[in-house]
Amino acid sequence: MSAADPTQTQLAEITERVDRLVELCRRLSEENRVLRQSQEHLASERAQLLARNEQARSRVEAMILRLKSLEQ
């Protein structure tokens, strides 16, 4: 009977560790999902900002050309 007690104790400890690891995996998976979603949102926002920046640059260049043509 005394040999079974340490085995049961070890089994309980291993079970507890496995449960903690499963919970950690679940939390990390959720965190990873949220981070990927955030990354996608930020990449989309960046693309929009780059497009707006390019449009603004083009408009400024066009204005400069018009101003130069008026000077001549």
The gap from C-alpha 66 to its chain's centroid, in whole angstroms, comes to 44
Chain segment 24-49, per-residue pLDDT in tens: 999 999 999 999 999 999 999 999 99
> Looking at the whole model, is its pTM more than 0.75?
no
When pLDDT is cut at 50, 70 and 90, the band that residue 72 belongs to is confident
DSSP string over 36-67: HHHHHHHHHHHHHHHHHHHHHHHHHHHHHHHH
Q: What's the rounded Cα separation, in Å, for the pair 6 and 1?
A: 9
pLDDT exceeding 70 applies to what percent of the chain?
A: 94
The residue-averaged pLDDT of 66-71 equals: 92
Task: For residue 8, count other CB atoms closer than 10 A to its CB.
Answer: 10
When pLDDT is cut at 50, 70 and 90, the band that residue 2 belongs to is low
Tokens of 38: 């955030």
